[in-house]
């Protein structure tokens, strides 16, 4: 009967200094030469946590861009000899990782996402004494971590939606991690929000410059003199004279004189 349970995906503490001690090739060889059976299972050939998983030595505490490579190419030698049960691939919707976890234990595994570095890690304690007394060293990730635990850190693609990472453990031995790809709507909304945030930030950083108000002199009331009626009349008369017109008064008097002459002639 198959037993499958979901593993909670945790967010990394951004302030903690972890994985700061690198595992070197020579140190790893000395470590493996001790002949510890559990160590050989956890870090041996074909294991997800082996520094030699990809054909050349690569520190498992460094984030590896796994989905930029094909598993058939990187694992061809191990698969030909049947030494690896690790696989990864991508679909139109998801990025997927599947791996066997030998010699680890069902209650001793963590899946953690580091938002700052855009990486996901699978880690835990392999040392039985450490698992039974975790208070012996709580910051084992900040020292020679391989002496206490194991890790595999993976760099996520740009279009991976880390908020929806899912991890499952099957039969306490196989881990299955699925990271959905961002939808086109999510990317467009993110770009639009980034654009709005940029505009708001620019407005805050560069507020508009307010020029001082120009002080205008007060408006002084002006006295406009009314025209002189006599002067206006004189101007009108002068205008008629210049234009060879008969003044109004003369025109009136002439009309009266003509009427008088006509009356005398009729009589």
* d(C-alpha 161, C-alpha 47), whole Å: 26
Give the predicted TM-score (pTM) of the model: 0.67
137 Cβ neighbours under 8 A, 6+ residues apart: 130, 143, 148
Does residue 85 have a pLDDT over 70? Answer: yes
Residue 102's pLDDT is 77
170 Cβ neighbours under 8 A, 6+ residues apart: 2, 3, 4, 176
Residue ranges and CATH numbers for the domains of the chain are: 4-180 (2.60.40.790)
As beta bridge partners, residue 262 has none
What is the per-residue pLDDT across 217-262, written as a single tens digit (0 to 9) for each? 565 655 555 555 455 445 544 444 444 444 444 444 444 444 444 4
* d(C-alpha 116, C-alpha 39), whole Å: 31
As beta bridge partners, residue 176 has 98, 168
Residue 237's pLDDT is 43
Return the percentage of the chain with pLDDT > 70, whole number: 63
15 Cβ neighbours under 8 A, 6+ residues apart: none
Compare 201 and 66 and report the one with higher pLDDT: 66
Average pLDDT over all residues of the chain: 78
What is the per-residue pLDDT across 29-81, written as a single tens digit (0 to 9) for each? 999 999 889 999 999 999 999 999 999 999 999 999 999 999 999 999 898 88
Residue 99's pLDDT is 95
Residue 253's pLDDT is 46
Q: Per this entry, what is the length of the chain?
A: 267
């Amino acid at each position: 009967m198959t037993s499958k349970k979901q593993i909670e995906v945790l967010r990394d503490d951004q302030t903690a200094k972890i994985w700061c001690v690198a595992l070197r090739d020579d140190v790893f060889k000395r470590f493996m030469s001790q002949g510890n059976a559990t160590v050989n299972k956890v870090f041996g050939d074909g294991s997800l946590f082996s520094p030699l998983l990809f054909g050349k030595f690569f520190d498992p505490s460094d984030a590896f861009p796994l989905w930029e490579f094909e598993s058939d190419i990187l694992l061809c030698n191990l698969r030909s000899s049947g030494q690896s049960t690790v696989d990864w691939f991508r679909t139109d919707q998801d990025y997927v990782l599947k791996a066997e976890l030998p010699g680890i234990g069902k209650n001793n595994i963590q899946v953690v996402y580091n938002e700052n570095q855009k990486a996901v890690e699978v880690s835990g304690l392999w040392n039985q004494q450490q698992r039974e007394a975790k208070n012996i060293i709580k910051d084992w990730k900040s020292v020679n971590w391989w002496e206490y635990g194991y890790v595999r850190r993976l760099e996520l693609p740009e279009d991976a939606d880390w908020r929806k990472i899912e991890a499952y453990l099957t039969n306490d031995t196989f881990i299955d991690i699925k990271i959905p790809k961002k939808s086109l709507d999510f990317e467009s909304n993110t770009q639009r929000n980034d654009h709005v945030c940029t505009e708001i930030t620019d407005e805050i950083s560069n507020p508009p410059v307010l020029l001082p108000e120009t002080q205008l002199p007060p408006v002084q009331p002006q006295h406009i003199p009314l025209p002189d009626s006599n002067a206006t009349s004189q101007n009108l008369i002068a205008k008629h004279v210049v234009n060879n017109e008969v003044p109004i008064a003369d025109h009136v008097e002439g009309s009266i004189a003509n009427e008088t002459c006509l009356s005398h002639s009729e009589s």
